[in-house]
Chain A
Amino acid sequence: MLAYTLRRILLVIPTLLAVAVLVFFVLRVVPGDIVEIKLAAEGGIISAEEIQKEKERLGLDDPIMVQFYKYMIGLPRGDLGISLWTENNVTDEIVSRIGLSLELAILSTIMAIIIAFPLGTISALYRGSFIDYVIRIITIGGIAVPSFWFGMLLIMLILATFGNLPPLGTVSIFDDPKTNLYQMIWPALSVGYRYSSVVARMLRSSILEVLSEDYIRTARAKGVFERIVIVKHGMRNALLPTVTVIGLEFAFLLGGLVVTESVFNLNGIGKLFVDSVVRNDMNLLQGLVLTVATGFVLVNLIIDLLYAALDPRIRYQK
């Protein structure tokens, strides 16, 4: 297990390195010029030399390999350069926002699990029944309804119900958990519907698959209580693919809240992502993509390790 863990962790490094290189070169292809956007977009009177000087100051005129070199030597120190827009450290910009995205992702994961587990299990156990059909329709709906639209409807609902919206400016959950939750619960819900649908569907199909396995028949032939058959023999095996899906969705949320954050006006990395695309802030964008990919890779790592913990076949693999 230890060797496996170590090897699995070591594997992360080359993957991230490859991501870093890929991201750098892909983003250099992006047309557009941040200095132009910054200086001329709002109609200022600015000369070509001034634009040129600004580019030089920001290091945009360096040969691409020089930029690449700077970028690569910065990476191990966590130095992702400066945002071309704010000229702050990219790392600082991301760190200041990632907490919110993370909280939202965690909150919606919790919400999804709470909703998905009963739904998926009931649906599987009553396969083909009316309730199964209802749950299937609800969950298929969950992956069909655009989360931003669902969010808009939610905002309408909050306004109609409470007459006001949660205050702007995220309050830390440690300072004022009540306000924080009131702020975060709605976006979490708007993502949570989709999320829980994905999880519930996976859980349903895994349970169904597991229940048709030979060892379930063995357990039944042993005369074990049906409840134990399902929980001890079934769920644990069905959990494996479900854990993967939860993990992947979680990783997806880390970078994929782009739309939800936009709807609920949340200041997470998703919104920063859209902003940096609109502004052509390549340094920030590459930092963000790298962060998201790192998140993805790390979550995958955790899933793999969790898998190993849950599945002895992997744990004991030499």
Chain B
Amino acid sequence: MTNSPLLDISNLQVEFKLKNGVVRAVDNVSFQVDRGEFLAIVGESGCGKSVTALSIMKLLPKRVAEIKSDYVKFDGQDLTNFSETEMRKIRGCRMSMIFQEPMTSLNPVLTIGDQLTEPLITHLEMNAEEATKRAVELLNMVGIPEPQKRLSQYPHQFSGGMRQRVMIAIGLACEPDLIIADEPTTALDVTIQAQILELLKDICSRMGVAVIMITHNLGVVAAYADKVNVMYAARIVEKGKASEIFASPSHPYTIGLLRSVPRMDKKRGGRLATIDGLPPNLMAPPSGCRFQPRCPMSTDACSEVPFLSNRKGSSKHSVACFYSEDALKKGSSIYVSDKEIFEPINVKKQAPLLSVRSLKQHFGVSFRSGWLSSISGTVKAVDDVSFDVYPGETVGLVGESGCGKTSVGRAILHLNLPTGGQLEFNSKDLNESSIALVRQDMQVIFQDPFSSLNPRMTIGEILEEPLKVHNIVTETDARFERVGQLLTKVGLYAYMRDRYPHELSGGQRQRVGIARALCMEPKLIICDEPVSALDVSVQAQIINLLEDLQRELGIAYLFIAHDLAVVKHISHKVIVMYLGKIMEIGDGETIYQEPKHPYTKALLDAAPIPDPKIERNRKKIILKGELPSPLNPPRGCVFSSRCNLATDDCKEIIPKLINFSKDQSVACIKVEEVN
């Protein structure tokens, strides 16, 4: 082992020549990675973190991407002028990569074995037999059971988590010095994410492999990274040891980023700090400090470019800000506005606004509908779910993908016809015919801001349509007025009514989505993952908006999300679902402080907290195994197949939801025993 860093990058610069201009996606980026080190690159989408990774591997399309740098030294060799052939020898052998989308990163028509042995045969010149042997070892190492059998299978026979394990196995096949993992767990559920990250960390530290992890999740960074690069608009704005960055963030952007994330370990109710505005368009970035337009501390001096410089007293921690010491001192208070008061939202608990009793939503799943199509299975997306929502209350519905949380929302809205159970809204029984009457009182906000607005209609038309169709506001002028008010209310400008959705940013669109939900003055809004597609800084803006609206208008929310921290932040009451069933239900604070159900506990453990001090010291139970197929859920308790505490009884008895305390019900036969 030499002392020189494994990877040393100086002044890396990547430009994309697009049809409508040149985009500098990476600008003057320099950093180093030592052997066995775990480096995280964090930043919001479009800040250039993935491009940085791909440019190290020289995997960017040559036609459009131009990579320049002083040098990119890998193990002492400068890769800058390496030919394609030379690069090819390094790729997959000394340096390998794991991508974000496990579903599409494997070739669907080749067997896992084929794809796994490929680097072995190419780089290590093994014969088929040796390669297969090694492949089995690798699969074993990444925790794939029955590796021999799995080798001859195809990617579609693997779940997402399994595929990502295969990707890790491929990445590690030739025992590389460096693995670049580009958002490797973003597409995975939180419990699976924990498994994969643990695995990656564990293997890499055992094998002494350095890791560059690209992520937007600060929790993940806090949990695993040795070093952090924070990127903003193609540049590194702050870099240093993870502990230092989290303890003393010195760039206003880093501070904002850390403060705008809802935290599970903090109490509910306060407003989140928000960074105003949007990341800049890289086609025409602001001159000088690129954060300047959004920075509450900016001065005229910020029109000069601040270079990364070491903080006083630290050789590793450097910041690109003229006022870093000041920012560090003031901390999150630079973002606090006048409204930043802790103000609990009050709930009137007389009569429930929405009452859900034994809701069932089953889907018949048929393969390839043809003349002889037959239903080959039933998915119980929602099975026997009951809860109440009171006026002005926020009920959080949380769970991993496929747990049925979205189906609950759709069933309440009658977007899918519920298979069974009773729904009562405002003391009226909801069914196919009565739903039309309450439509105006019950609205929805969707996850994807890009597809929740009709791209062929202007914002004005979108907001006006329900008013017009239902004759709520009949006069054109009055409607015009009303649309303006709505836009103002959600923090947009009235002039935006003439814009088309594609002219707005994601956050703005989500505001329009909220305005549309508001325009009929509903009593309940079902929020289906309203912030999960947004960058953290924008996410905080939307969460604040939703809370403000609730304070002002007394709307109740059914808040569906997979992000435990967000749900914790906004909800009065939290429901935890797993495979169509409620595992635990109760007061938000209580559930997060004292989870009773083993699944809730595992879920909370799996979600990393963006603070290395807390994160690295907490005891975690990492769930084993995969989510069972919803077509064939375990008998008895649906969680029994993954539960550490499961006994034979659990596999037979379907647990009922039992009141554990006044504010908490749990569906576990062992609840007494465990707690």
Contact = CB atoms under 8 A, between A and B. Distances in A.
Whether chain B is bound by chain A comes out as yes
Interface of A: 7, 10-11, 14-15, 127-128, 213-215, 217-226, 228, 232-233, 236-237, 310-313, 316-318
B101 interface: yes
Contact of A222 (B96, B104, B370): B96
B674 to A, nearest CB: 38
A316 B370 contact: no
B18 to A, nearest CB: 13
A237 B108 CA distance: 8
B89 to A, nearest CB: 6
A317 B367 CA distance: 8
Interface string B507-521: 000000000000000
A222 B167 CA distance: 10
12 contacts: A7-B370, A15-B371, A128-B63, A214-B101, A214-B105, A215-B105, A218-B99, A218-B115, A221-B91, A223-B88, A224-B92, A224-B119
B371 A313 contact: no
A312 B157 CA distance: 10
Given A237-B108, A312-B154, A317-B368, A217 B99 contact: yes
Contact of B122 (A218, A224, A310, A316): A224
Contacts of B167: 218
B110 interface: yes
A313 B167 CA distance: 19
Given A218-B167, A223-B89, A14 B371 contact: yes
Contacts of B136: none
Given A223-B87, A224-B122, A310-B109, 12 more contacts: A7-B370, A214-B101, A217-B59, A218-B167, A223-B88, A223-B93, A223-B122, A224-B88, A232-B110, A311-B109, A312-B108, A317-B367
Contacts of A128: 63
Contacts of A310: 109
B73 to A, nearest CB: 19
B118 A222 contact: yes
A219 B122 CA distance: 11
Contacts of A217: 59, 99, 105
B122 A213 contact: no
Interface in B418-436: none
Nearest to A210: B107
Contacts of B107: 215, 218-219, 233, 237
A213 B123 CA distance: 23
Contact of A224 (B111, B118, B157): B118
B376 interface: yes
Interface in B104-159: 104-111, 115, 118-119, 122-123, 154, 156-157
A115 to B, nearest CB: 25
Contacts of B93: 223
A14 B370 CA distance: 10
A218 B119 CA distance: 11
Interface string B37-73: 0000000000000000000010100010000000000
A214 B170 CA distance: 15
B372 interface: yes
A219 B91 CA distance: 10
Nearest to A129: B63
A11 B371 contact: yes
B97 A221 contact: yes
B84 interface: yes
Contacts of B90: 223
Contacts of A11: 370-372
A15 to B, nearest CB: 7
Contacts of A225: 88, 122
A313 B368 CA distance: 13
Contacts of B157: 316
Given A236-B109, A311-B109, A316-B154, A221 B84 contact: no
Nearest to B157: A316
A312 B104 CA distance: 15
Nearest to B370: A11
Contacts of A311: 108-109
- A-B interface, 5 closest residue pairs, ranked by CB to CB distance from nearest: A223-B92, A223-B91, A222-B92, A312-B154, A214-B104
Contacts of B101: 214
Contacts of B97: 218, 221
A297 to B, nearest CB: 12
B309 to A, nearest CB: 34
Contact of A223 (B111, B123, B376): B123
Most buried by B among A7, A316, A318: A7
B110 A221 contact: no
B118 A10 contact: no
Nearest to A314: B368
B175 to A, nearest CB: 14
Contacts of A218: 97, 99, 105-107, 115, 167, 170
Contacts of A214: 99, 101, 104-105
A15 B370 CA distance: 10
A128 B108 CA distance: 28
Contacts of A313: 108, 154, 156
A217 B93 CA distance: 15
Most buried by B among A11, A219, A223: A223
Contacts of B110: 232-233, 236
A312 B107 CA distance: 11
A316 to B, nearest CB: 7
Given A221-B91, A222-B119, A312 B109 contact: yes
B590 to A, nearest CB: 43
A219 B101 CA distance: 14
A142 B354 CA distance: 64
Contact of B156 (A7, A220, A316): A316
Contacts of B84: 226
A314 to B, nearest CB: 9
A14 B97 CA distance: 50
B266 to A, nearest CB: 37
B372 A223 contact: no
B372 A215 contact: no
Contacts of B156: 312-313, 316
Nearest to A13: B371
A232 to B, nearest CB: 7
Nearest to A317: B367
Nearest to A217: B59
Given A11-B370, A223-B122, A237-B108, A318 B91 contact: no
Contacts of B111: 312
Contacts of B368: 317
A309 B643 CA distance: 40
A120 B91 CA distance: 29
Interface in B577-628: none
A106 to B, nearest CB: 27
